[in-house]
Amino acid sequence: AQTVTQSQPEMSVQEAETVTLSCTYDTSESNYYLFWYKQPPSRQMILVIRQEAYKQQNATENRFSVNFQKAAKSFSLKISDSQLGDTAMYFCAFGAGTALIFGKGTTLSVSS
């Protein structure tokens, strides 16, 4: 069975700084996708970034980038130039079948 582990329950960062959120996963699948979702206090689930496992190149979306280490089964999210609006819970998710498997989340607080 696939599992997703986020080992940092809470993190905090100052505005304009860089922060990295960790995620590890376990699977025997060779073809899969990894995702980071943002959940602000409104509870809406917002897709931040997606990585295809067969692609070597790390995905980037503006200030968000990932460090995908397939052999280590690691998928960290880097947020550069943090903004107050980045305050949210961040979920790492794994997709290889029908539905996503989520980690327990990391609560990120950005302060001024």
Partner 1 sequence: NAGVTQTPKFRILKIGQSMTLQCTQDMNHNYMYWYRQDPGMGLKLIYYSVGAGITDKGEVPNGYNVSRSTTEDFPLRLELAAPSQTSVYFCASSYSGDSSGNTIYFGEGSWLTVV
Nearer to partner 1, 37 or 86 (CB): 37
* DSSP-derived pairing of the beta strands 46-52 and 33-39: antiparallel
Minimum Å distance from CB 15 to partner 1? 25
Residues 5-34 that bind partner 1 (CB under 8 A): 31-33
Of 19-27, 69-77, 79-87, 97-105, the segment contacting partner 1 by CB under 8 A is: 97-105
Task: Label residues 67-106 b or e (16+ Cβ within 10 Å = b).
Answer: ebeeeebebbbbbeebeeebbbbbbbbbbbeeebbebebb
Q: How many residues bind partner 1 (CB under 8 A)?
A: 24
Residues 52-81 that bind partner 1 (CB under 8 A): 52
Q: How far is CA 110 from the centre of its chain?
A: 16
With CB under 8 A as the contact rule, the residue among 20, 22, 24, 50 that binds partner 1 is: 50
**DSSP secondary structure code for residue 25 in this structure:** E
Tokens of 85: 């609006």
Asked if 96 and 81 count as a contact pair (C-beta separation under 8 A), the reply is no
With CB under 8 A as the contact rule, the residue among 13, 22, 45, 63 that binds partner 1 is: 45
Q: Which residues bind partner 1 (CB under 8 A)?
A: 4, 31-33, 42-45, 47, 50, 52, 91, 93, 95-105
